[in-house]
Structure formats: C-alpha cells, structure tokens
Structure 1
Amino acid sequence: MIGFPLLLIPLAICNIIVFLMPGVALATSVFTVTLVSAVSWPVTLGDVLIALGILLLMFEVIKGARPGAKFFMDHLLSLMVFAGAAAEFVLLPQFGTSTYFLLTLLALVDFLCGIALRARRSARLPAAEAPAPAPVPVPASVPPAASVAESVLLDPAEPAPPR
C-alpha cells in the first residue's frame, strides 16, 4: 500500500467506464437522495468518482505525512498519475469532461502536497532524524567529569562565619 498511488483508483474506474462501457455516461444518475428540505438530489456517477477521489486524496496526504515515508517513490508515482491524467484530459476527447478535469486536479494536488510535505520535513528534522553532531575532542589534561564531581562532594564544607 505504501508505493501504490491511491488516486489511480478513481482514474482507472473512469477509464473503465469510458473505454469498456461506451453507453454509460458520467452524468448518469446512480441514485437519488431526498434531503430534509424535501429536495431530491440526483447523485451522478461523476459525483461518486469525485467524492471517492477526495477521500483517497486525504489518505494519500496522511500516507505522505508519516515519518519514514518513501518520499521519492511516492512523488514519482504521483507525478506519473498526474501526467497520465493530464495527457488523457488534453488529448482524448472522451475525457474532456468536468469530472475528469477535477480528478486530474486532485492528482495535481496530491503531487504538490507531497512536495510541500517533503520541503517542510527537510526544513525541520526531528532529533531522531537529524544527523548526529561530530564528537568534540577532549584534551588529555582534563579529568573526567565523574572524578571532578566526586572530588567536589568529598571536600569538607567550609565553616560558617560567626555572627
């Protein structure tokens, strides 16, 4: 799951609908929801794909924000998904719809969020990921701290001055 671009799922479903089901349009109503205001809201196939894409974008951002993420592979796959979706949107007339444009836009947001997360992580590395500082050489004439502390504790206390 780490290296799999989740936004590929709604884009692949859209490709399946366009290429394998030519009689089905993205504007086809899947079901109708009656709201409290008594208005009927027809939910289309395109609406379902966009909602799925938004949910998967949330999981992509969460996946990219975790520590130890495989940033390079995630960025590369996100860029490839965006490039493929943008190419289909621009070059193929079947994909020139608002639904596919919004799915392509979600892929772009995924890619840009990954870059922003990576830049932010590089700006402030946690102590566990920060490179260890170089050890400071200690001159041989300096006694170890433990022996200095012991000698201070063993020194007799100075008598208090009389009042």
Structure 2
Amino acid sequence: MFAAVPLLALPVLVYNLIVLLLPGGFKAADATLRLAEPLFTIRMTSGAGWAVSLSDLLLAGALVVLFVELLKSTNSKRLAIVNHSLSMVLFIVCLVEFLLLPAFATSTFFLLALMVLLDVLAGFIVTIVAARRDVDFGE
C-alpha cells in the first residue's frame, strides 16, 4: 500500500518542516528570505561562484521525485488509481497552504505545488490513454 502514496508528498513535507522551524511558524512572512540564503558556493570552471540555497536543493530534489512519479504513472493497476487520487488530495492541500498561509506564498512552494499538479494531470492522462489502448472498439 506504500506504493500508492505520492512521492511528491516528501518535498512538500520537507518544506512544511522547514517553515515550521522558522520563527513564527506557518505565519512567517520571511520564508522567502530564509529559503534563499546561500548554504554553500560551488566554484565553476569559469571562476564564477554558484551560490546554492535550500530552495535550490528542495526544488532539485522535487524534480527528481517528479520524474519517478511520472514513471510510476505509466502503471495502470488499481494501485495507480489510488496514487492519482492521493496526488489530487496532496494538490488540494498545497493549494490551500499556498493561498491561506503567508509562509507558503513563495516561488519555491508555488513550483512544488505546480509539480504536484503536473503529477496529477500526467497520472490521469496516462491512465486514460493506457485504458483506451486496452479496450478494442472493433473496426
């Protein structure tokens, strides 16, 4: 049953934990500033420094998870339908947090919510296309 849980819940959960640890919790207005603070800098061959923030790491991890979720959506078993439904619930939770809580009104969380939406859409579209191939309508 664990396979039915949308993996994109992990980056959303990590964002929730990060924001919860901020002073002010979910009502923290400075979440954007805290997420954009550079954690480390990587020296590039050109000599320029690439400052990597917590927001960058979270989004990069979420993109990898989105790729895995898209691969999982090609499965047309009943478990995939449960996964798509839970992904829809996750998107609704993300949308409510984005619209109602100040700490979630950031570009980082918007992009996470967009990834969840893409997972929902891709899952349903892939399932519908796969189901249409499984049914033979004759000549």
Shorter-chain TM-score bucket reads 0.7 to 0.9
**Residue 150 of structure 1: aligned partner:** none
Equivalent residue letter for 2:50: W
CA distance in 2, matches of 1:94, 1:70: 33
Aligned equivalent of 1:94, options 71, 87, 103: 103
**Root-mean-square deviation over aligned CA pairs:** 1.8
Cα offset, 1:60, TM superposition: 0.6
TM-score scaled by length of structure 1:
0.72
Equivalent residue letter for 1:7: L
Which has more radius of gyration? 1
Cα offset, 1:13, TM superposition: 0.7
**Residue 61 of structure 2: aligned partner:** 52
Pair 67,115 (structure 1): closer, same or farther in 2 beyond 3 Å: closer
**Residue 32 of structure 1: aligned partner:** 41
CA distance in 1, matches of 2:78, 2:108: 30
Unaligned 5+ segments in structure 2 are 25-30
Pair 18,124 (structure 1): closer, same or farther in 2 beyond 3 Å: same
Secondary structure of residue in 1 paired with 2:3: coil
Equivalent residue letter for 2:7: L
Structure 1 vs Structure 2: percent identity of aligned residues? Answer: 36
Secondary structure of residue in 1 paired with 2:46: coil
Aligned equivalent of 1:62, options 35, 56, 71: 71
Q: Residues 11-57 of structure 1, C-alpha deviation per residue, up to 9 Å, x if partnerless?
A: 11111111123397111212111111111010110011111110000
**Residue 22 of structure 1: aligned partner:** 23
Cα offset, 1:82, TM superposition: 0.7
Structure 1 consecutive aligned stretches of length 4 or more whose deviation exceeds 4 Å: none
Equivalent residue letter for 2:131: S
Aligned length: 127
Unaligned 5+ segments in structure 1 are 132-163
TM-score scaled by length of structure 2:
0.84
Q: Residues 101-148 of structure 1, C-alpha deviation per residue, up to 9 Å, x if partnerless?
A: 0000000000000011111101101xxxx68xxxxxxxxxxxxxxxxx
Structure with higher helix content: 2
Cα offset, 1:69, TM superposition: 5.6
Contact 1:63 1:69 (C-alpha < 8 Å) held by counterparts: no
**Residue 5 of structure 2: aligned partner:** 4
Secondary structure of residue in 1 paired with 2:7: coil
Secondary structure of residue in 2 paired with 1:5: coil
Superposition map of 1:11-160 within 5 A: 11-22=12-23, 25-66=34-75, 68=77, 70-125=79-134
